[in-house]
Amino acid sequence: MIDGKQTGADDRYFDCLLEELLCVLLAFRIQIGFRTSSQGHEIELLKHKIADLLDENPWLQVRLMHRFSKIYYYARKRAMIHTGFKPSAFPEVCPWQVSDIINVSIFQI
């Protein structure tokens, strides 16, 4: 934020973090037999980065509400590429609520 104004860089960084978190969560969700501790650590790190960014820039919560579906759409596409699973393996609608993403403790690994 510059002089109390939101910046495009904050917006894009936030979107990228959230997309990455959702992608990792989707992969983690379906790869039950192949889960690794590094995935759990990555999820924790991304959750905390998002929480810190939201604490520093409260206006991003409004952005989250408006962009959540679109960000999930791209996260789902990335999860398909990363895992090699077919689209039917991933829910078309995000299985988590916006409030779940904001709540840092919701995804205990």
Each residue's pLDDT tens digit in the chain (109 positions)? 444 445 678 889 999 999 999 999 998 888 776 667 777 788 889 988 998 998 998 889 888 888 999 999 999 999 999 999 999 999 999 998 877 776 655 554 4
Q: Which residues of 52-68 are buried (b: 16+ CB within 10 A; e: fewer)?
A: eebeebeebeebbeebb
What's the pTM? 0.83
The percent helix, strand, coil of the chain (3-state, each to 5) is: 75, 0, 25
Tell me if 26 sits within 8 A of 20, measured CB to CB.
no
Which residue ranges make up each domain of the chain?
8-106
